[in-house]
Amino acid sequence: MNKTVVILLMFCFIGCDNQKTINPEEISKKTSEKFDLALFNSNKKGNLYEYLLGDTIVRLYAEDNFYKKELSFDNYAFKSVLVYSKTTNMLVSDFFYFYGMPIGIWKTYDENGNLVNEKNNDEGFDFAVKDLIGMFKKELQIDLINDDNYKSLVVNRFSDTTFYVLKNCHYLIEIATVEGIRTIKVDGNDGAVLNDETVFAEE
């Protein structure tokens, strides 16, 4: 499933001589998405309602100050987390993860739906997550999405900042199996494998 955040685009035309044109850049800085409180209240068990939407697992739940919607897909590899105000039910935060690693553009809105902050977690990584998945499957014969034989799979990425310039961007993937732990370091710019080593479990 693809992460879905609905942004309502409205072009209003009032009479032939009073046509109003809305700047798309202004629209992109607003959101009209609200938490589906009726759906949640009519189906929740305790503070949770979980259901399937195609191949996507959707979880709606309530916390002390917020409502949340989590969408997990591709065998739990990707997760979208949407946070909503309990006062207005409006979307206030929009996060995206790959195995717990922050990816994509995270956005924060005020309670009226106005964009107040955004952070690009992919900055400095020309070799994107989709490239990483493809390279692992093709060159290393490792399926980061569909292989369930791992005891654990941890994906992280790191970068150094020198004079406000990102340098030494790389991914670090740790795969634990019954044989041992394999750690693979991948360049975040061109996808080159910088290091690949396995520490075998003691018998």
Task: Write the pLDDT tens digit of every residue in 21-52.
Answer: 334 444 457 889 999 999 999 999 999 999 99
pLDDT-derived band at 125, boundaries 50, 70, 90: very high
DSSP letter (8 states) at residue 23: P
Q: Is the pLDDT of residue 18 over 70?
A: no
Could you tell me the domains of the chain?
24-120 (no CATH), 129-200 (3.10.450)
Calculate ∠ Cα 74-80-85, nearest 5°. 155
pLDDT of res. 29? 72
Q: What are the residue ranges of helices labelled H in 125-192? A: 129-139
Instruction: Give residue 14's pLDDT.
Output: 31
Given this model, what pLDDT does residue 103 score? 97
Give CA–CA dist 162/200, Å, rounded: 36
> How high is the pLDDT of residue 167?
75
Instruction: For the chain, give the mean pLDDT.
Output: 86
Query: Rounded to an integer, what distance in angstroms lies between the CA atom of residue 96 and that of residue 71?
Result: 10
Each residue of 146-189: pLDDT tens digit? 988 889 999 999 988 766 666 789 999 999 999 999 999 999 99
pLDDT over 60 (residue 9): no
In this prediction, residue 201 carries a pLDDT of 84
Q: Which one has a higher pLDDT value, 70 or 150?
A: 70
